[in-house]
């Protein structure tokens, strides 16, 4: 797939999301739930946040794609997440996994190990999370280390590239690695997207909401194009928001406005390089 073809696919995906308003439920962390929902709405989707096992199963069938974020786990998620993942597989619904906090606690590790047999369509995370998930699933990450320190990356995006490509090949989907310069791969085709803002690191929920928006586009297109479209939209909106923001608070509002206003053609035109 060349640069021009990728741009055409991105434009089509954004158009369809804005026209269809796909229902994209989420099980996401309580710290960032509002930004996740607002970003999904700004991108053209319809958001629904659930917690309980029977809710997850029911809405997995009703939704067109799904987002699972591993932050702020509740004890009952030990039942909710596997049941939801099985329902998604049963109903052939694509979904996005954000393995935030991988390595923190036995419940999170066990649930992420469970997803190896119920794989997502897209994994989105920072470099350290992607490396840790590849290692947890027994894949060749190129880095012999388990777990992460907290929720922030301690590895570069380029260091995580082998792990991302291995994960993408294993799930037959796509992986997006967020960092100083974002990387998206389907295991064979790898793209680097440019732009964004350092202010993303000064607000909570930038990465979490990116996963939610990825799920919106996943309802409309392939895992690779969905992941890249979301990254492109975020990098464009982040660049624009930073120009007028006075700090993290005004940046969040300006970012949502820029995400909402971005046209399909503008998102596709944001700089990216096929590696």
pLDDT in tens, the chain (275 residues): 899 999 999 999 999 999 999 999 999 999 999 999 999 999 999 999 999 988 999 999 999 999 999 999 999 999 999 999 999 999 999 999 999 999 899 999 999 999 999 999 999 999 999 999 999 999 988 777 655 554 555 788 999 999 999 999 999 999 999 988 899 999 999 999 999 899 999 999 999 999 999 999 999 999 999 999 999 999 999 999 999 999 999 999 999 999 999 999 999 999 999 99
Give the pair of three-digit tokens for residue 241.
């928001």
C-alpha to C-alpha distances, 255 to 23, 251, 266, nearest whole angstrom:
22, 6, 15
Alpha carbon distance 67, 20 (integer Å): 18
Report CA Rg, the chain.
17
Is 178 among the annotated ligand-binding positions?
yes
pTM for this entry: 0.95
Residues 6 or more apart from 127 whose CB is under 8 A from it? 153, 155, 156, 157, 159, 160, 177, 178, 179
Domains of the chain, earliest start first: 3-274 (3.40.1190.20)
DSSP 24: E
Would you say 217 and 43 are in contact if contact means Cβ atoms under 8 Å apart?
yes
Helix (H) or strand (E) holding 162: helix 161-171
Task: Confirm or deny that 101 is annotated as ligand binding.
Answer: no
205 marked ligand binding residue: yes
Torsion sign (Cα): 69, 164, 203, 17: negative
Please state, in angstroms and rounded to a whole number, the distance separating the CA atoms of residues 74 and 51.
Answer: 9
Beta strand 122-126 with 174-178 is parallel
Beta bridge partners of 124: 176
49 annotated ligand binder: yes
């Amino acid at each position: 797939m060349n640069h021009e073809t990728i741009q055409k696919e991105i434009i089509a995906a954004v158009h369809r999301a804005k026209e269809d308003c796909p229902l994209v439920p989420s099980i996401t962390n309580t710290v960032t739930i509002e930004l996740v929902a607002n970003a999904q709405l700004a991108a053209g989707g319809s958001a629904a946040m659930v917690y309980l096992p029977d809710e997850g199963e029911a809405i997995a069938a009703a939704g067109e794609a799904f987002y699972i974020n591993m932050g702020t786990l509740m004890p009952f998620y030990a039942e909710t997440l596997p049941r939801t993942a099985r329902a998604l597989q049963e109903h052939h619904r694509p979904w996005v996994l954000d393995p935030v906090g991988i390595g923190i606690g036995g419940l999170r590790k066990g649930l992420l190990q469970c997803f190896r047999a119920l794989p997502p369509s897209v994994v989105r995370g920072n470099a350290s999370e992607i490396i840790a998930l590849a290692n947890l699933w027994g894949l060749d990450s190129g880095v012999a280390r388990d777990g992460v320190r907290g929720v922030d990356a301690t590895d570069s995006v380029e260091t995580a590239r082998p792990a991302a490509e291995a994960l993408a090949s294993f799930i037959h989907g796509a992986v997006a690695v967020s960092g100083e310069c974002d990387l998206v791969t389907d295991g064979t085709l790898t793209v680097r997207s440019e732009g964004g803002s350092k202010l993303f690191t000064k607000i909570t929920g930038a990465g979490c909401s990116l996963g939610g928006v990825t799920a919106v586009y996943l309802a409309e297109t392939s895992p690779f194009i969905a992941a890249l479209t979301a990254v492109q939209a975020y990098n464009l909106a982040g660049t624009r928001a930073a120009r007028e923001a006075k700090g993290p608070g005004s940046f969040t509002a300006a970012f949502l406005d820029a995400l909402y206003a971005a046209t399909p053609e503008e998102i596709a035109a944001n700089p990216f390089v096929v590696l």
